């Protein structure tokens, strides 16, 4: 005998029932079968509503009953030939009449007991199984309908009855002594107690019915037919990358279902595991898919983690107090108090200090638990040995499951690291000594993010999703978006990163798309966006609570720079091309670095110095490996280098600056470059990154711009430079006649920093520096005589955008 169970969606309507009939027809060709069915999808919920509405004196229960009647009549009519309909239709009407009588009684009394509720819901499975049985007979698949209540014996815990396996086995054995027919149809979910009252096995309990029958029949296998192609690595409704697990052990399946994988009702596994009956989970709507095999021993397939699941609506109870230390019996009394109230404990943790015990339970029993436990510890609370029970709600449990975990250290480190980086606060942790699962209690609002983060962490065949919020679509921002678009396929295939732009803004507009904006036509989309407001943008980015979130600032805007602290505190990484944050006061620079460390986020700004050149990264690597920076010499302004390399007496100085601006090599206000302020900021950032405190006013600046150039608008500035052409020409001629070149050099030595225009001779390092190149010389403990040199293009929107891109990838891969 084999046992097949079909869930609510498999029998939701006539079309689906036909699919089910096809599967059964094939199955009975091979071996006799016992088939268990759930109620038509959604019917159990409506039946429960009927009872509660009636009990609260609401007559609309009648409309619900009518709905139930219509759905069953319609299904039966489409499945049965007209000549065979009358018996079935009158049976449906009769059942609905009985239901109506019960609901009328509840309505009059204004009271609904668990016992009556079980009676009501039993009609769901009674009706569906009758209809399936009749339609199979009509389709020439002969079968016998049997009432599960005749065989499955339980206690009288209505709603969650416990099965008496001995009596159940005896009843089945004695009924079938005369042999078995080829096909029996059973309603799932329902049973009877000793006195013959209808009981139910808990929501989702039809799976359990099937396992109970598989045990009693010593079945060759149990097939659970549902609406997904097997047990998956995570709930597919939450994790879109979830995939089917081909094979899983009983223990693992039990853990996953215990912690919320709804595809199997948790008690289902125990009876089949005891008898080593293999279980297949199959898809009614894709029967050709292999499905999942649940069996005793599963070969390791490279993945240490088999699956990840979660349960919502958890309350965490904490019992704490100094009086608990070393005194036996406290935990026993806690669990006794809960079990007397029939409250099921889902998770337990106890600190080794024995000061506290934490248990996770279904939130709906939280208040009941509070009064039961406080009553049980009444005396200890009154003498202040124990605190009153602390109850926290809106929590969920995440569980990482895999039998192979025990031979792999570091699993939990990876788990908590990934959660921490994404700002998911872990309230409690439990790991069974069998090391089949690690579970963590977190806030329900973080569940989606946490499940996806962990799934990406442990199932390497899936992509890590990176969610970007980009502010700035000018020269650099525009190039960055183009590079992201071009590199999408490469990132996905080579780095396994799926980079999406979820939020985009410029100074005028902002817009969001949770699925990721199309990068083909972002200008048109953004033009339709809402007016830009950086505070709203930041709030929208935070409230989305997305995993691996990176805020990218490609502006030169002060207000944008002031929002980093709020983002870092939410564990969002910040990638800044904007230099304002790192070059304002040391205190605020340090605060941002500290926040990033505290909240496990990344604060990256490689492009603040030398555009895309790996200058800050190199410096960080030197320090991380224990080196010490003693002296820095650098040409850090691509703009000034461009200007002095092109200023050769042909064009005016003002024109050369204009060319640099047109090429995108200057700040929006070129005076920041020409005055040396930009170079001061850069050397200051390098000094700060090398571990020293420095402020702008501590940097000496030997500027070359006449003071008159600093007044007025950018246009005034160009006009004034034109007037001052003789001044610039003099500087140029002086250098030229001495055989030197002009370079704007930044230096740091013996604790002090300076910037200024210098004449550089042919034997000096900076002489051969062309175009807009930058160069940095690091003299360190290791690089004493010959410095470590980083040199290359230090300005330009394309290289800057690629530097920002590299920071984004660095943030993503941490």
Could you say which of ligand ADP, Mg ion, ligand ASP, none residue 228 binds, taking C-beta under 5 to 8 angstroms by partner kind?
ligand ADP
Q: Segment near ligand ADP (CB under 6 A), from 13-21, 222-230, 470-478, 800-808? A: 222-230
Structure tokens at 642: 């461009």
Respond yes or no: is residue 651 known to be catalytic.
Answer: no
Helix 411-421 × helix 447-458 angle, to 10°: 130
Structure tokens at 34: 């016992």
Q: Which SS3 state, helix, strand or coil, does residue 476 take?
A: helix
DSSP secondary structure code for residue 259 in this structure: T
Query: Least distance from C-beta 281 to ligand ADP, angstroms?
Result: 8
Dist CA 809 CA 814 (whole Å)? 9
Which of 678, 691, 679 has the alpha carbon at shortest distance from 590?
691
Q: Which of 236, 278, 478, 617 binds ligand ADP (CB under 6 A)?
A: 236
Backbone angles phi, psi at 627, to 5 degrees: -80, 170
Structure tokens at 741: 């070149």
Structure tokens at 731: 């500087």
Structure tokens at 335: 């669990």
CB-wise, 95 or 681, nearer to ligand ASP? 95
CB-wise, 264 or 541, nearer to ligand ASP? 264
Q: Which of 129, 148, 198, 206 binds ligand ASP (CB under 6 A)?
A: 206
Contact 252, 260 (CB under 8 A): no
Does residue 45 belong to the site contacting ligand ADP (CB under 6 A)? no
Does residue 228 belong to the site contacting ligand ADP (CB under 6 A)? yes
Q: Segment near Mg ion (CB under 5 A), from 2-10, 289-297, 514-522, 774-782? A: 2-10
Q: Which SS3 state, helix, strand or coil, does residue 167 take?
A: helix
Which of 49, 43, 133, 60 has the alpha carbon at shortest distance from 91?
133
Query: Least distance from C-beta 160 to Mg ion, angstroms?
Result: 15
Structure tokens at 153: 């014996």
Does residue 203 belong to the site contacting ligand ASP (CB under 6 A)? yes
Contact 441, 337 (CB under 8 A): no
* Closest CB to ligand ADP: residue number: 7
Structure tokens at 1: 């005998």
Does residue 204 belong to the site contacting Mg ion (CB under 5 A)? yes
CB-wise, 44 or 800, nearer to ligand ASP? 44
Query: Least distance from C-beta 203 to Mg ion, angstroms?
Result: 8
Does residue 223 belong to the site contacting ligand ADP (CB under 6 A)? no
Does residue 225 belong to the site contacting ligand ASP (CB under 6 A)? no
Q: Segment near ligand ADP (CB under 6 A), from 1-9, 478-486, 609-617, 630-638? A: 1-9
Q: Strand ranges (DSSP E) for 709-750?
A: 741-749
Q: Segment near ligand ASP (CB under 6 A), from 38-46, 471-479, 630-638, 781-789? A: 38-46
Give the interface size with ligand ADP as a residue count (CB under 6 A).
20
Could you say which of ligand ADP, Mg ion, ligand ASP, none residue 189 binds, taking C-beta under 5 to 8 angstroms by partner kind?
ligand ASP
Pairing type for strands 629-635 and 573-576 reads: unpaired
Backbone angles phi, psi at 150, to 5 degrees: -70, -20
10-29: which residues touch ligand ADP (CB under 6 A)? 10
Does residue 7 belong to the site contacting ligand ADP (CB under 6 A)? yes
Q: Which of 3, 8, 272, 319 binds ligand ASP (CB under 6 A)?
A: 8
Query: Least distance from C-beta 561 to Mg ion, angstroms?
Result: 52
Dist CA 101 CA 95 (whole Å)? 10
**What contacts 230, CB < 8 A, 6 or more positions away?**
244, 245, 246, 281, 282, 283, 289, 290, 291, 292
CB-wise, 46 or 575, nearer to Mg ion? 46
42-61: which residues touch ligand ASP (CB under 6 A)? 44
End-to-end CA distance of the chain: 53
Which of 139, 136, 121, 137 has the alpha carbon at shortest distance from 40?
121
Does residue 261 belong to the site contacting ligand ADP (CB under 6 A)? yes
String of contacts with ligand ASP for each residue 168-197, x by CB under 6 A: --------------------xx--------
C-alpha angle 519-521-527 in degrees, rounded to nearest 5: 115
Contact 358, 349 (CB under 8 A): yes
Q: Segment near ligand ASP (CB under 6 A), from 36-44, 373-381, 573-581, 784-792? A: 36-44
Could you say which of ligand ADP, Mg ion, ligand ASP, none residue 124 binds, taking C-beta under 5 to 8 angstroms by partner kind?
ligand ASP
Indicate which residue of 682, 743, 772, 791 is catalytic. Answer: 682
Does residue 205 belong to the site contacting ligand ASP (CB under 6 A)? yes
Does residue 271 belong to the site contacting Mg ion (CB under 5 A)? no
Which of 743, 773, 769 has the alpha carbon at shortest distance from 756?
743
The DSSP string of 535-590 is HHHHHHHHHT--TTEEEEE-S--HHHHTTHHHHHHTT-EEEE---HHHHS-HHHHH
Q: Which of 27, 39, 146, 501 binds ligand ASP (CB under 6 A)?
A: 39
16-35: which residues touch Mg ion (CB under 5 A)? none
CB-wise, 185 or 790, nearer to ligand ASP? 185
String of contacts with ligand ADP for each residue 301-320, x by CB under 6 A: ------x-x-----------
Backbone angles phi, psi at 470, to 5 degrees: -105, 130
Pairing type for strands 183-187 and 33-37 reads: parallel
CB-wise, 203 or 562, nearer to ligand ASP? 203
Query: Least distance from C-beta 270 to ligand ASP, angstroms?
Result: 16
Which of 790, 789, 777 has the alpha carbon at shortest distance from 749?
777
The DSSP string of 739-792 is T-EEEEEEEEETTEEEEEEEEE-TTSTTTT--TTEEEEEEEESSSSSSPEEEEE
Could you say which of ligand ADP, Mg ion, ligand ASP, none residue 39 binds, taking C-beta under 5 to 8 angstroms by partner kind?
ligand ASP
CB-wise, 267 or 638, nearer to ligand ASP? 267
Does residue 612 belong to the site contacting Mg ion (CB under 5 A)? no
Does residue 39 belong to the site contacting ligand ADP (CB under 6 A)? no
Q: How far is CA 162 from CA 267, 663, 686, in A?
A: 10, 78, 69
DSSP secondary structure code for residue 641 in this structure: H
Q: Which of 51, 187, 204, 612 binds ligand ADP (CB under 6 A)?
A: 204
Does residue 402 belong to the site contacting ligand ASP (CB under 6 A)? no
Q: Segment near ligand ASP (CB under 6 A), from 179-187, 202-210, 680-688, 700-708? A: 202-210
Q: Segment near ligand ADP (CB under 6 A), from 232-240, 386-394, 752-760, 791-799? A: 232-240
Dist CA 732 CA 644 (whole Å)? 8
Catalytic residue ranges: 682
Which residues lie near ligand ASP (CB under 6 A)?
A: 7-8, 38-39, 44, 124, 188-189, 203-207
Which residues lie near Mg ion (CB under 5 A)?
A: 7, 204
Which residues lie near ligand ADP (CB under 6 A)?
A: 7-10, 38, 204, 226-228, 231-232, 234-237, 261-263, 307, 309
């Amino acid at each position: 005998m084999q046992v097949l169970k079909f869930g609510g969606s498999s029998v939701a309507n006539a079309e689906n029932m036909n699919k089910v009939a096809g599967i059964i027809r094939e199955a009975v060709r091979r071996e006799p079968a016992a088939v268990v069915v759930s109620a038509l999808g959604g019917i159990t919920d409506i039946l429960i509503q009927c009872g509660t509405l009636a009990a609260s004196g609401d007559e609309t229960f009648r409309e619900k009953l009518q709905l139930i009647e219509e759905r069953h009549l319609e299904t039966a009519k489409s499945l049965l030939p007209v000549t065979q309909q009358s018996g079935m239709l009158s049976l449906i009407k009769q059942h609905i009449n009985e239901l109506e009588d019960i609901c009328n009684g509840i309505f009059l009394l204004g009271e609904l007991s668990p016992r009556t509720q079980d009676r009501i819901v039993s009609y769901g499975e009674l009706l569906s199984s009758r209809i399936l049985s009749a339609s199979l007979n009509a389709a020439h698949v002969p079968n016998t309908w049997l009432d599960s209540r005749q065989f499955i014996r339980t206690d009288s815990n209505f709603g969650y009855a416990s099965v008496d396996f001995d009596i159940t086995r005896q009843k089945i054995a004695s009924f079938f002594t005369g042999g078995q027919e080829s096909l029996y149809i059973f309603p799932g979910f329902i049973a009877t107690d000793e006195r013959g009252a209808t009981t139910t096995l808990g929501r989702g309990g039809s799976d359990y019915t099937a396992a109970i029958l598989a045990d009693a029949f010593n079945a060759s296998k149990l097939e659970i037919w549902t609406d997904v192609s097997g047990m998956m690595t995570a709930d597919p409704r939450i994790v879109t990358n979830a995939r089917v697990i081909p094979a899983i052990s009983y223990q693992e399946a039990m853990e996953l279902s215990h912690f919320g994988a709804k595809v199997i009702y948790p008690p289902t596994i125990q009876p089949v595991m005891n008898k080593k009956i293999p279980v297949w989970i199959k898809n009614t709507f894709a029967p050709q898919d292999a499905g999942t095999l649940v069996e005793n021993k599963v070969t390791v397939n490279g993945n240490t983690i088999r699956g990840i699941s979660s349960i919502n609506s958890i309350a965490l109870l904490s019992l704490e107090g100094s009086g608990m230390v070393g005194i036996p019996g406290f935990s026993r009394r806690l669990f006794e108090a809960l079990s007397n109230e029939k409250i099921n404990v889902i998770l337990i943790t106890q600190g080794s200090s024995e000061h506290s015990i934490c248990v996770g339970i279904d939130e709906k029993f939280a208040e009941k638990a509070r009064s039961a436990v406080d009553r049980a510890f009444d005396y200890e609370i009154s003498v202040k040995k124990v605190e009153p029970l602390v109850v926290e709600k809106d929590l969920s449990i995440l569980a990482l499951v895999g039998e192979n975990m025990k031979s792999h250290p570091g699993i939990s480190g990876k788990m908590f690291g990934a959660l921490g980086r994404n700002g998911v606060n872990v309230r409690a942790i439990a790991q069974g000594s069998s090391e089949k699962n690690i579970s963590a209690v977190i806030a329900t609002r973080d569940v989606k993010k946490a499940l996806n983060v962990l799934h990406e962490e442990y199932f390497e065949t899936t992509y890590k999703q990176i969610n970007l919020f980009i502010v700035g679509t000018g020269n650099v921002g525009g190039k960055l978006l183009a590079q992201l678009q071009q590199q999408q396929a490469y990132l996905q295939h080579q780095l396994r990163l799926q980079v999406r732009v979820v939020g985009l803004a410029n100074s005028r507009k902002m817009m969001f798309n949770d699925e990721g904006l199309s990068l083909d036509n972002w200008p048109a989309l953004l033009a339709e966006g809402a007016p830009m407001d950086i505070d709203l943008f930041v709030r929208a980015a935070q409230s989305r609570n997305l995993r691996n979130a990176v805020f990218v600032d490609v502006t030169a805007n002060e207000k944008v720079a002031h929002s980093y602290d709020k983002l870092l505190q939410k564990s969002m990484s910040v990638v800044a091309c904007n230099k304002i944050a790192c070059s304002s006061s040391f205190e605020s620079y340090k605060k941002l670095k500290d926040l990033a460390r505290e909240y496990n986020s990344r604060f990256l700004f490689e492009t603040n110095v030398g555009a895309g050149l790996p200058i800050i990264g190199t410096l960080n690597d030197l320090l991380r490996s224990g080196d010490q920076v003693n002296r820095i010499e650098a040409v850090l302004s691509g703009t000034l280098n461009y200007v002095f390399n092109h200023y050769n007496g042909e064009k005016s100085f003002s024109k050369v600056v204009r060319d640099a601006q047109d090429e995108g090599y200057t700040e929006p206000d070129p005076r920041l470059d020409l005055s040396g302020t930009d170079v001061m900021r850069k050397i200051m950032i390098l000094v700060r990154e090398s571990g020293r405190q420095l402020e702008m006013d501590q940097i000496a600046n030997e500027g070359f711009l006449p003071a008159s150039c600093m007044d007025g608008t950018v246009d005034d500035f160009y006009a004034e430079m034109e007037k001052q052409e003789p001044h610039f020409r003099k500087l140029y001629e002086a250098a030229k006649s001495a055989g030197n070149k002009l370079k704007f050099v930044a230096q740091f030595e013996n604790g002090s920093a300076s910037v200024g225009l210098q004449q550089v001779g042919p034997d000096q390092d900076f002489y051969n520096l062309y175009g807009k190149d930058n160069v940095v010389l690091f003299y360190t403990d290791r690089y004493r005589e010959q410095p470590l040199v980083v040199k290359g293009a230090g300005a330009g929107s394309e290289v800057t955008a690629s530097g920002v891109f590299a920071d984004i990838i660095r943030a993503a891969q941490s």
